[in-house]
C-alpha cells in the first residue's frame, strides 16, 4: 500500500496534451522482480527491444507512475508501483556483446534503443491478478496482457489508474 498523497503533477510539461501520467510495464520475475527493485531502489528499464514500447518510454515524463506487472509466472499480475525519475537514457546493453540484449545493428553514433530510470515506490500486499485486470482494463489497455502480445509497456488511462491504485 502506498503511503503517499501525491496527485497527478502539474509541471510545465503537462501543458503538452499528449502527456501520460500512468503506465504499466511488464517484467518476468525471474529476470527482474518487484523484490529486486525494492532492494535496488532504482533501476534502468533497459533491454526493451520493441519499437512501440520504446516509443512509449519516450513519451514519459519525470514523476509518471508505473504499475509493475509480473509476467510469465504464477500468478501473473500487478505487484507494485514505481516512478519515472529519469528520461532518454541510452540503453547500454545494446552495445554489450555479453548481454542478451546486444544489438549488432545499433551503432554508438546512432543508438537505436533508449530507456528510462525508475525508482521503487511500493510493493502490493496482494497481487492484482490478470483475471481482475481483464475486468478493469479498457480494450486498448488489454493489449498489453493479451496472450502472445510482445508489447511490454503501455499507457494506463487515468480512470483505470485510479481504480488500480485503490487495489494495490
Partner DNA sequence: GCCAACGTTGGC
Minimum separation from the CB atom of position 61 to DNA (A):
24
Counting Cα atoms < 13 Å in the Cβ hemisphere of 124 gives 19
Span 78-117, contacts to DNA by CB under 7 A: 105
Q: Name 122's bridge partners.
A: 81
- The interface region with DNA, picked from 33-41, 65-73, 78-86, 112-120 by CB under 7 A, is 65-73
Indicate whether 147 belongs to the interface with DNA (CB under 7 A). Answer: yes
Q: How far apart are CA 152 and CA 118, in angstroms?
A: 15
- Give me the helices (H) in 6-152, please: 34-40, 51-58, 130-136, 139-142
- The interface region with DNA, picked from 14-22, 67-75, 106-114, 120-128 by CB under 7 A, is 67-75
Give whichever of 2 and 29 is closer to DNA, judged by the CB atom: 29
For residue 96, the Cα-to-chain-centroid distance in whole angstroms is 23
Minimum separation from the CB atom of position 62 to DNA (A):
25
Amino acid at each position: 500500500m502506498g503511503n503517499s498523497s501525491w496527485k497527478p503533477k502539474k509541471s510545465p510539461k503537462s501543458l503538452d496534451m499528449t502527456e501520460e501520467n500512468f503506465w504499466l510495464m511488464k517484467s518476468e520475475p525471474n529476470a527482474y522482480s518487484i523484490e529486486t527493485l525494492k532492494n535496488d531502489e532504482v533501476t534502468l528499464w533497459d533491454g526493451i527491444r520493441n519499437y512501440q514500447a520504446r516509443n512509449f518510454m519516450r513519451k514519459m515524463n519525470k514523476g509518471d507512475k508505473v504499475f509493475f506487472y509480473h509476467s510469465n509466472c504464477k500468478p501473473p499480475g500487478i505487484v507494485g508501483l514505481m516512478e519515472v525519475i529519469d528520461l532518454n537514457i541510452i540503453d547500454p546493453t545494446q552495445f554489450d556483446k555479453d548481454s542478451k540484449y546486444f544489438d549488432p545493428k545499433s551503432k554508438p553514433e546512432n543508438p537505436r534503443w533508449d530507456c528510462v530510470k525508475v525508482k521503487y515506490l511500493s510493493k502490493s500486499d496482494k497481487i492484482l491478478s490478470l483475471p481482475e485486470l481483464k475486468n478493469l482494463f479498457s480494450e486498448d489497455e488489454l493489449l498489453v496482457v493479451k496472450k502472445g502480445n510482445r508489447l511490454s509497456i503501455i499507457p494506463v488511462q487515468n480512470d483505470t489508474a485510479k481504480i488500480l491504485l485503490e487495489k494495490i
